[in-house]
Amino acid sequence: MTFPRPPAFRLLGILAVLIVALSATLLPTAYAQSSKAPLKIAMILWRGETNVEQGFRAYFDENNIPVDLTIHDVARDLSRVPAIIDQIRKAPPDLVYTWGTGITSSVVGKYDAVDPAKNITDLPVVYVMVSSPWKTGIAAPAGQSRPNVTGATHIAPLAAQINAIRAYRPMDKIGVVYNSREDNSVSNVADLTELGREMGFDVLAAPLGTDDEPSADDIAPAVAELARKGADILYIGPDNFIGNYRDTLTDAGFANGLAAFSATELEVRDGHAMLGLVSRYELVGRLAASKVEQILIGGISPADIPVETLDRFSYLIRLSSARKLKLYPPLSLLDYAEVIE
């Protein structure tokens, strides 16, 4: 014989069912994911893992999302990308992560010139460290999207960069040594030149590699020529070649009494650029990881996930470089700048 449950027991049963149901919908996605197979992500990197990838990994670790990362390092050689794409096609991951303009352009092509034989079109791709995704054609223009591609960019608005320089010292002429064979560098210099007309400064450009492959031996003479022309400061933009030889550039700057401003973090934090307005690499990686989560766990199409940059930037000052040039920062900057010895 069965007996009807007292009202209190029936109420507890109903509450238990409701709690289970709510738990399924309200618990963090990371918790739900923890019992599933790891997300398989192929990472195509320019020069091995950086702080960007540390932030990327940390995001998944902290949210208990298991991931299986396969690293493909091109070791600064873009000619390796096609073979890596062939490897990825033989054992497709859930998603492809690309680092930098050159690699990303090789992997996904331009938004209006995709070649399915050469570019990855059937897997989602999330990119990082692409400084000018719209100017270089990696991102589609406003009002359009790419079905399998989104990413995180890292460069502060150029006007904010110029204001950061002028907050430190007056600037009417900015000198730029850059690789004329890198689309992102060419785009950046063009944007700087256009902005100079609005903000009242001249861009003194020193392109390398116009006739042959750029050489590190050309950097010091180019800096000396910029100093002769009256440059107030050197500008280090998003340029992989200059990034490889950042000490050569800043040493040439010291020899000619020129400080260097950087739009990217490592040139100040690990190099000798005197100041910079930058995105922290770790946070760029976390932003990219959040997009991967939206795609692979949230089921959102990359086409519906905007390409974004961080909403806050760090003002870095390298004091050892300031001392060397006897260009000490105004006290007002020390209220918010991160000072690095």
pLDDT band at 10 (very low <50, low <70, confident <90, very high): very low
Q: Cα dihedral sign for 51, 55, 60, 64?
A: positive
Question: What dihedral do alpha carbons 238, 243, 246, 250 form, nearest 10°?
Answer: -10
Q: Which residues pair with 339 in a beta bridge?
A: 317
Q: Residues 88-129: pLDDT tens digits?
A: 999 999 999 999 999 999 999 999 999 999 999 999 999 999
Q: How far apart are the first and last CA of the chain?
A: 82
pLDDT (0 to 100) of residue 16: 33
Q: Residues 236-264: pLDDT tens digits?
A: 999 999 999 999 999 999 999 999 999 99
Q: Taking 50 as the threshold, does the pLDDT of residue 3 lie above it?
A: no
Q: Taking 70 as the threshold, does the pLDDT of residue 14 lie above it?
A: no
pLDDT band at 15 (very low <50, low <70, confident <90, very high): very low
What is the rounded average pLDDT for all residues in the chain? 90
pLDDT > 90: percent of the chain: 87
- Whole-model pTM: value is 0.82
Residue 94, Cβ neighbours under 10 Å: how many?
17
Q: Residues 300-338: pLDDT tens digits?
A: 999 999 999 999 999 999 999 999 999 999 999 999 999
Nearest to 317 by CA among 300, 302, 337, 336: 337
pLDDT band at 36 (very low <50, low <70, confident <90, very high): confident
pLDDT (0 to 100) of residue 99: 97
pLDDT band at 7 (very low <50, low <70, confident <90, very high): very low
pLDDT > 70: percent of the chain: 90
Q: What is the 3-state secondary structure (H, E, C) of the chain?
A: CCCCCCHHHHHHHHHHHHHHHHHHHHCCHHHHHCCCCCEEEEEEECCCCCHHHHHHHHHHHHCCCCEEEEEEECCCCHHHHHHHHHHHHHCCCCEEEEECHHHHHHHHCECCECCCCCCCCCCCEEEECCCCCCCCCCCCCCCCCCCCEEEECCCCCHHHHHHHHHHHCCCCEEEEEEECCCHHHHHHHHHHHHHHHHHCCEEEEEEECCCCCCCHHHHHHHHHHHHHCCCCEEEECCCHHHHHCHHHHHHHHHHCCCCEEECCCHHHHCCCCCEEEECCHHHHHHHHHHHHHHHHCCCCCHHHCCCECCCCCEEEEEHHHHHHHCCCCCHHHHHCCEEEC
pLDDT band at 1 (very low <50, low <70, confident <90, very high): very low
Both tokens of 39, joined, read 């997300």
CA distance 70 to 203: 42
Q: Taking 80 as the threshold, does the pLDDT of residue 233 lie above it?
A: yes
pLDDT (0 to 100) of residue 237: 95
pLDDT (0 to 100) of residue 28: 35
From edge to edge, which strands make up the β-sheet containing 275-278?
Answer: 202-208, 173-179, 233-236, 260-262, 275-278, 314-318, 338-340
pLDDT (0 to 100) of residue 31: 30
pLDDT (0 to 100) of residue 58: 98
pLDDT (0 to 100) of residue 21: 35
pLDDT band at 280 (very low <50, low <70, confident <90, very high): very high
Provide the greatest CA pair distance for the chain. Answer: 103
- The answer to whether 77 and 107 are in contact (CB under 8 A) is no
Q: Taking 60 as the threshold, does the pLDDT of residue 192 lie above it?
A: yes
- The answer to whether 213 and 223 are in contact (CB under 8 A) is no
